[in-house]
Chains A and B, each alone.
Chain A
């Protein structure tokens, strides 16, 4: 039984903005199948009374005070961008967006 279909891999690639060739879709479907199979082993031990864990520390309510700290130097930030203009990041236009 396969846990992930070729179509699902194609959809994931689309969401992740990865341009995968036909052959790659087959290859990654196979690899992801192995990963999912391994992870599914956890499901065999976990019973209904075990809550899914998202945080390992058990900590709650860690906050910072509402205090302004110095931001990064703008020149410094923009230096690492591929393109800038008017002190802004320049990005390809996403068509038909407002």
Chain B
């Protein structure tokens, strides 16, 4: 019996997820600095986001509205009065020595998100309750020099870039999610996938986990079966892909079960997910509890959304992802099961984009949920991280439809694009991968194939046309799959006078 099923037989996991979403506002939350990802270090800072004396923050209206829209989409209650608070701490990622956040008055609270998970008894709905959605600001980015992971050996300092400090950041916290049993890892993954699709649908964030605009912390505790008291929970950070969400929970369930089986207690601590091993490791244990000394931010006036404003924002909400998926499944001719697979892979938007560039729905699904999903799984990454675009796949589909590429050649083209050889047309030209349908190019291979298969050739001459496949197959093999099969068949029959 695996350690996972053993753990699940003895304990009930209780999940909790904290998700941070960087909003895609053009300017920062409390100042006018730009928010471009990957800009030159410290080129997007000003007295306000650097916390220089005399500067005064003013809230970005789109940041507030985006947060309320997220709350509404998650079925939350919107506060009628909400204040920002200072979260005080000393760490060089915040030049102000505090982070502007929200404490006991979050903008949104008490919502839920329903997610579907495939179980042994078929597709099952799990309701993940939302505790709160609040607005804060992102921190700066530290690069550590020295130590085991640092860039410069022997050095013992950090370098700070404050471009990210002050960008609007929304934190979405779930209530503890009990009763998911063995499906805990899948429920968590489905929740983050659904949340990502919902946020993308709202247009409030570009939700790129690989760039850090969507980040996830996972809380987990185990309760012995039959017990009513929840166990001590750990918080795992650094869970930066959909796949990692599932793996981190699975490995943490296994680890905690082993500790408990051995009669040990679970330490309440922060752990870090390690992508390479798929396990979590203990973070620095803090000998003293964190004390942030929250107090209301005096420089920002309270937010008091009235019902008119809230209803206006509610009326602008897009359709829910689940309703959108049902509509798309119908439009694309996918079965429920096919659509669910695609959603689980996080491929809905990629397929929609590929279709918008001219591919057929079935081809778009075939490539993304087949070949590319396999590649992503091999590399241990999410589909969106692969170095191939929806446009590339659409172009490949057009070439296959036009008979300029076979499926086999298309796979080679994809392979080449993934390793950075260029777009489909460039790769085809460089690797000479186009389907050969030119008589003069095919005839020598056909002649050779006929000579190598005299019996088949004789039968075809007698009129047994069905045997032609043997010769066509030999030609295809000879040309490495690049020959136009229909054209080869035609030429073989013509050559043999049949």
Residues in A lying within 8 Å of B, measured CB to CB: 11, 14-15, 17, 54-55, 57, 59-72, 74, 77-78, 83, 85-94, 96-98
Contact = CB atoms under 8 A, between A and B. Distances in A.
Given A66-B25, A69-B31, A93-B144, A74 B92 contact: no
14 contacts: A15-B88, A57-B301, A62-B301, A64-B59, A65-B60, A65-B62, A66-B25, A71-B33, A83-B157, A89-B162, A93-B147, A93-B158, A96-B284, A98-B283
A55 B296 contact: yes
Given A55-B298, A66-B61, A87 B158 contact: no
Per DSSP, are chain A's interface residues mostly helix, strand or loop, or mixed? loop
Nearest to B81: A60
Contacts of B301: 55, 57, 59-62
Contact of B32 (A59, A68, A78, A83): A68
A94 B91 contact: yes
Given A54-B296, A93-B156, A98-B238, A63 B43 contact: no
B331 interface: no
Q: For chain B, what secondary structure do more than half of its interface residues adopt (helix, strand, loop), or is it mixed?
A: loop
A92 B27 contact: no
Contacts of A64: 32, 58-61
Nearest to A84: B159
Interface residues of B, number: 57
B45 A54 contact: no
A85 B159 contact: yes
Contact of B27 (A17, A66, A90, A91): A66
Interface stretch (B34-42, B311-319, B397-405, B490-498): B34-42
Contacts of A93: 144-147, 156-158
Interface string B75-109: 00000010100001011100000000000000000
Interface of B: 25-27, 31-34, 40-47, 50, 58-64, 81, 83, 88, 90-92, 143-147, 149, 156-162, 238, 272, 283-284, 288, 291, 293, 295-296, 298, 301-305
A94 B157 CA distance: 8
B26 A68 contact: yes
A10 to B, nearest CB: 11
Contacts, number: 130
Contacts of B26: 66-68
A63 B145 CA distance: 40
A56 to B, nearest CB: 9
Contact of B59 (A63, A88, A89): A63
Contact of B291 (A15, A57, A67, A89): A15
A22 B288 CA distance: 20
Given A57-B301, A60-B302, A63-B61, A71 B43 contact: yes
A72 B25 contact: no
A64 to B, nearest CB: 4
A59 B303 CA distance: 9
A71 B44 contact: yes
A93 B145 CA distance: 8
Contact of A98 (B44, B161, B272, B304): B272
A70 B92 CA distance: 24
B293 A86 contact: no
Nearest to A98: B272
Given A88-B143, A92-B158, A93-B145, 4 more contacts: A57-B301, A60-B303, A65-B61, A92-B157
Contact of A88 (B33, B41, B284): B41
Given A93-B158, A97-B284, A68 B144 contact: no
B63 A66 contact: yes
B206 to A, nearest CB: 15
A60 to B, nearest CB: 4
